[in-house]
């Protein structure tokens, strides 16, 4: 394929990704606040978010394998359709089971979007598609570019809440906007080039050992993150009494810092130092989360939140590059899907527990989350220590 065609396909992938990131920028702020607005208790909110995470995790692994075997373009288009319908229908019901289902199918689970518009199965399929049109030596740079554009869109989405709120418009109507943007993402995906890369089997058989090793560190990451990430907006509201618009500003500023880390890190990082970067950024992220939990003032908590997000999410493209570089190209979506499922699946039990802990003491969810997540970088070092100074 010519360089121009590769460039056009990358532009289409990243454009669709930006629309999704913009949507997740406000959806992941509003979700827990909306459930609280409906009158659900903290424990019920945790159950809804935990159930949605389980649904999203199962879809992630299943659709990632189908994407590798039957075609990533086809599955991506279907994902955008599911996201669009889930967003448009979300405000139409107050039934707890309907809300669980729509949130899980749409991938908006309070934290699913991340900084790159990769909620639920989107991340697995989009990341694999990006690497299809990129040379291995440029994985980290191109993935960071895609993520940087996504984070700018997510920041705009977070700031949009404050703008809508200032106009005295119901901020929850933004769910309808997400549905419309999802439809445009579907249209863009239809024009992607299908390279014909297919796995021979639906279940991975070439890289399964590496996939297993890559999935193990995501277990403590998922459990620890699940204690606080899905309810971060609600936590800020309950701890400091601030509005959804003010929370959106904090989240938007954190996205800007994530963007800075994403742009700078791959450009100062040698390919053989990717694992070192993953380990140290995640250690800093865990320590920042613990400090946030113990911060008595909003300004300090906001600073630690921004630092935590920058270190945790800013290094995502580097982690993706490391993972995509050590597995077979026909099983890259499955790899992303498996690691995402492990992280999300184990995080599903945390939100209900977090709801109970939140009712006991508001400090507990981020404190416990920070302590648990510190095992993530330790496992990365233990499992990949042979790669610590050189890539496989």
Nearest residue to 205 (alpha-carbon basis) of 362, 61, 375, 330: 330
CA separation for the pair 345, 132 (Å, rounded): 27
Q: Given this model, what pLDDT does residue 325 score?
A: 81
What local confidence, expressed as pLDDT, does residue 300 receive? 96
Which 3 state secondary structure label does DSSP give 212? Answer: helix
How buried is 6 (Cβ within 10 angstroms: 0-12 exposed, 13-18 middle, 19+ buried)? middle
- Which DSSP state fits 196? -
The pLDDT value recorded for residue 110 is 66
At 114 the pLDDT is: 44
Mean pLDDT of 181-197: 89
Name the band, by pLDDT with cuts 50, 70 and 90, for residue 308. Answer: very high
pLDDT, tens digit, 9 for 90 and up, residues 67-124: 888 888 999 999 999 999 999 999 999 999 999 999 989 888 765 444 444 456 787 7
pLDDT at 367 over 70: yes
Share above pLDDT 90 across residues of the chain, in percent, rounded to a whole number: 31
Question: What's the Cα-to-Cα distance from 222 to each of 2, 50, 150, 154, 218, rounded to whole Å?
Answer: 40, 12, 22, 22, 6
Instruction: Give the least confident one: 65-69, 338-342, 370-374.
Output: 338-342
**pLDDT at residue 314 in the model:** 81
pTM of the model: 0.75
Q: Which two tokens stand for residue 20?
A: 């999704």
Residue 172's pLDDT band (boundaries 50, 70, 90)?
Answer: very high
User: CB–CB of 17/143 below 8 Å?
Assistant: no
Work out the mean pLDDT of the chain and round it to a whole number. 85
- Whether pLDDT at 391 is above 50: no
**Does residue 392 surpass a pLDDT of 70?**
no
More confident site: 7 or 97? 97
Quick one: average pLDDT of 296-325? 88
Phi, psi of 70, rounded to the nearest 5 degrees: -110, -15
Residue 301: what pLDDT?
A: 94
Rounded CA gap, 154 and 252, in Å?
7
Name the least confident of 64-68, 120-124, 302-306.
120-124
pLDDT attached to residue 388: 56
Q: What pLDDT score does 390 carry?
A: 47
Q: List the domains of the chain with CATH numbers.
A: 3-387 (1.20.1250.20)
Pick the residue with more confidence: 141 or 186? Answer: 186
- Percent of the chain scoring above 70 in pLDDT: 94
Sequence-separated (6 or more) residues with CB below 8 Å from residue 104? 51, 52, 53, 54, 55, 56, 59, 120
pLDDT, tens only, 260-274: 888 888 777 776 778
Q: What's the count of helices (H) and strands (E) in the chain, helices before strands?
A: 18, 0
């Amino acid at each position: 394929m010519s360089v121009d065609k590769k460039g056009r396909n990358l532009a289409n992938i990243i454009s669709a990704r930006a629309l999704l990131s913009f949507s997740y920028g406000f959806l992941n702020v509003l979700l827990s606040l909306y459930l609280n607005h409906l009158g659900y208790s903290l424990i019920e909110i945790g159950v809804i978010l935990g159930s949605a995470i389980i649904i999203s995790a199962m879809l992630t692994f299943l659709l990632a394998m189908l994407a590798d075997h039957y075609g990533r373009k086809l599955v991506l288009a279907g994902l955008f359709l599911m996201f669009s319908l889930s967003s448009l229908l979300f405000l139409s019901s107050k039934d707890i089971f309907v809300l669980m289902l729509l949130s899980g199918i749409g991938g908006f689970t309070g934290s699913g979007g991340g900084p790159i518009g990769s909620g639920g199965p989107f991340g697995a399929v989009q990341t694999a598609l990006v690497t299809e049109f990129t040379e291995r030596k440029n994985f980290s740079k191109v993935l960071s570019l895609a993520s940087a554009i996504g984070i700018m869109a997510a920041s705009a989405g977070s700031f949009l809440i404050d703008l809508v709120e200032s106009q005295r418009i119901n901020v929850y109507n933004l769910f309808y906007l997400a549905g419309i943007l999802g439809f445009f993402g579907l249209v863009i995906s239809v024009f992607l080039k299908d390279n014909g890369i297919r796995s021979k089997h639906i279940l991975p058989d070439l890289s399964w050992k590496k996939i297993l090793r890559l999935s193990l560190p995501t277990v403590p990451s998922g459990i620890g993150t699940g204690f606080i990430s899905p309810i971060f907006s609600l936590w800020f509201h309950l701890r400091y009494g601030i509005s959804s618009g003010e929370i959106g500003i904090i989240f938007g500023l954190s996205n800007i810092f994530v963007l800075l880390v994403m742009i700078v890190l791959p450009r100062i990082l040698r390919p053989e130092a990717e694992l070192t970067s993953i380990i140290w950024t995640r250690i800093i992220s865990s320590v920042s989360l613990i400090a946030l939990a113990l911060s008595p003032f909003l300004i300090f908590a906001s600073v630690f939140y921004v630092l935590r997000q920058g270190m945790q999410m800013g290094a995502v493209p580097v982690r993706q590059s490391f993972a995509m570089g050590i597995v077979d190209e026909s099983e890259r979506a499955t790899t992303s899907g498996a690691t995402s499922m492990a992280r999300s699946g184990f995080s599903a039990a945390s939100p209900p527990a977090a709801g109970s802990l939140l009712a006991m003491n508001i400090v507990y969810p981020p404190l416990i989350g920070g302590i648990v997540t510190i095992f993530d970088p330790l496992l990365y070092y233990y499992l990949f220590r042979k790669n610590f100074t050189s890539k496989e």
